[in-house]
Amino acid sequence: MDSRQQSIKLSEETQRYLLDVGTNIDEYYRRFRELRLLTDDLSFQTAILNVEHAFFMLVQSINILREQLNLLRVASRKGEVY
């Protein structure tokens, strides 16, 4: 079993999935942001802002995952693992 080839294939599959997920996350973030801008209740705005921040952290985590997947693919192709 060639785990290097499997890791490249799985990495590419995961990258495509993350792109779809990221697009959906972006849409939900946009909808929450619109709600926050439309509300007059400051405490409710704060609650929505916290949700927006959580979306931001989620996107940051996805970006870190994508970078690690890229490094895995590079290592698999070179035969080196860092």
Residue 15 placed within a domain: yes
If one counts the domains in the chain, the total is 1
* pTM score, whole prediction: 0.80
Residue 32 placed within a domain: yes
Residue 68 placed within a domain: yes
Work out the pLDDT band at 5, boundaries 50, 70, 90: confident
Residue 10 placed within a domain: yes
Residue 82 placed within a domain: no
pLDDT digits (tens, 9 = 90+) for 31-53: 999 999 999 999 999 999 999 99
The pLDDT value given to residue 3: 84
- In the predicted structure, residue 1 carries a pLDDT above the cut 70: no
- In the predicted structure, residue 82 carries a pLDDT above the cut 60: no
> Can you read off the two tokens belonging to residue 21?
């997920």
Q: List CB contacts of 25: < 8 A, sequence separation 6 or more.
A: 55, 58, 59, 62
Domain that holds residue 69: 3-77
